[in-house]
Amino acid sequence: MYIEKVNVRSKLSAFTDHWSPKIVAELNGQQVKLAKMLGPFVWHKHDQEDELFYVLSGKLKIEFRDQTVELSEGEFVVVPKGIEHRPVADKEVAVMLFEPASTTNTGNNPGEYTRHDPERI
């Protein structure tokens, strides 16, 4: 078996699209994804999956119905399953996501941003 390291900067430079997570690794039924975000996403929730947002560069707001969590580079938040949320990036932000492989990025609110089969890079 060949074990390969992942260079996050290199992977981030391989794409420019927003709100389209890219799979960079898998472990224990979880996927590690990279995404670039700009503007507001859709309100949604994941009934069966927790979701971790780790900010690599920029600033990200995660809006909840009763509060907003602001994340800077090097910070993360776990959104528990069943909690409605909306990521918002006033300027481009790069994020690493950890979530079960079954997670659809728009959760219970499918639409133009939905990615059923994220690209592996």
pLDDT on residue 5: 95
Cα→Cα distances 110→34, 43, 56, 86, Å: 20, 10, 26, 13
Question: Mean of the pLDDT values across residues 75-99?
Answer: 97
pLDDT on residue 104: 87
Q: What are the chain's domains?
A: 8-100 (2.60.120.10)
State the Cα–Cα distance between residues 49 and 104, nearest whole angstrom.
10
State the Cα–Cα distance between residues 67 and 99, nearest whole angstrom.
22
Is 94 within 8 Å of 17 (Cβ atoms)?
Answer: no
Of the chain, the end-to-end C-alpha distance in Å amounts to 19
Model confidence at 113: pLDDT above 90? no
pLDDT on residue 107: 81
For the chain, give the mean pLDDT: 95
Model confidence at 79: pLDDT above 90? yes
Q: Which two tokens stand for residue 89?
A: 């990036």
pTM of the model: 0.92
